[in-house]
Amino acid sequence: MDLQIAGKTALVTGASQGLGRAIAKSLAAEGVRVFATARNEELLASLVSEIEASGGVAPVTFAQDFVAADGPEKIVTAALAAMGHIDILINNAGGSRPMDIDAPEEHWVEGMTLNFDRHRQVTQKLLPNFLERKSGSIVNISGNLEPEVVNAAMVAKAGLVVWAKGLSEQLGQHGITVNCVQPGLIDTAQIRRLYPGEERKKFAEREIAMRDFGEPEDVGNAVAFLASPRARYITGTVLLVDGGMRRYSF
């Protein structure tokens, strides 16, 4: 299926590794000009090489600390300067933040800032770009919302989902869609550390209908679809990419 996104522009946060890298590659393979931002310049450079080698549209990269106070401003300014406009925003940056029940306030602030506040701020700074063009796709990467311990990232991601739902109600009349993708257990470096060796197989056979973990490309493909005109009538939803693990609150 032609997703009809060739020639469009996208901003992807946390694009140097894991899900963000797969998303950037999936979009570039469809002909999207990607503005890929993350902290690690070396990983961003290797992303460019991989995309070029596979025949995708070479991305523009921008090394920036997403959590820095001026991070959203710098990222949006650089993206608009490089691309002229942005058609697609992928809010992907983040990381798990398990903590003690009496964790100090600074741990909560860091976890919420990384996993919610900066996404909201980047989005708000890009809203004039979307509203002026009366079109656009915003896709947020959520996560497991059934915690086994206190985890600031899960609290933040739940907030991200609720915020996205409200935003979709207000932006739909302007031709802008807002959705979330909730990955299950995807074969990334972070997940491999949590489920080493036989633990992966045991868990998958017990908990996942597809009997294995997903690949980053599975998430990238889902995001590319939601960001495309093919999904023009889908907004305010949470798309599960979990192989039937069914651990969710929304």
Instruction: Note the pLDDT tens digit of each residue in 33-43.
Output: 999 999 999 99
Provide the percentage of residues in the chain whose pLDDT is more than 70: 98
Query: pLDDT band at residue 51, thresholds of 50, 70 and 90?
Result: very high
Whether 116 shows a pLDDT value over 80: the answer reads: yes
* pLDDT exceeds 70 at position 184: yes
Lowest model confidence (mean pLDDT) among 9-18, 187-196, 209-218, 226-235: 187-196
Model pLDDT, residue 248 = 60
Give the pLDDT confidence score for residue 99 in this predicted structure.
85
Structure tokens at 95: 């990381």
Taking 60 as the threshold, does the pLDDT of residue 250 lie above it? no
Enter the DSSP assignment of 213. P
- Rounded to 10 degrees, the C-alpha dihedral 198/151/110/107 comes to -110
- Residue 247's pLDDT is 64
Q: Using one digit for the tens of pLDDT, what is the confidence trace for 146-156?
A: 777 899 989 99
Question: Which tokens sit at 181?
Answer: 């993708």
Grouping H, G, I as helix, E, B as strand and the rest as coil, residue 196 is coil
**Has residue 67 got a pLDDT over 80?**
yes
The percentage of the chain sitting over the pLDDT mark of 90, rounded to a whole number, equals: 80
pLDDT at 190: 75
What's the chain's average pLDDT? Answer: 93
How far apart CA 93 and CA 231 sit, in angstroms, is 23
More confident residue, 248 or 229: 229
Q: Distance (Å, rounded) from C-alpha 32 to C-alpha 119?
A: 21
214, β-bridge pairs? 186
CATH annotation of 9-233: 3.40.50.720
Q: What is the pLDDT of residue 188?
A: 83
Tokens representing residue 180 in the block:
């979330």
Q: pLDDT (tens digit, 9 = 90+) per residue, 129-145?
A: 999 999 999 999 998 77
- Tell me how far CA of residue 97 lies from CA of 38, 62, 103, 119, in angstroms: 19, 25, 11, 16
The pLDDT of residue 196: 83
Confidence band, pLDDT 50/70/90 cuts, at residue 119: very high
Quick check: 249 pLDDT over 70? no
Order the strands of the 33-38 sheet from edge to edge.
Answer: 60-63, 33-38, 9-13, 88-91, 136-141, 176-183, 238-241
The first and second tokens of residue 79, run together, are 């993206």
**The tokens of 155 are what?**
């609290």
Q: Please answer whether residues 16 and 36 qualify as being in contact, where contact means their C-beta atoms are separated by less than 8 angstroms.
A: yes
Q: What stretch of H or E contains 33?
A: strand 33-38
Domain spans in the chain, listed from the N-terminal domain onward: 9-233
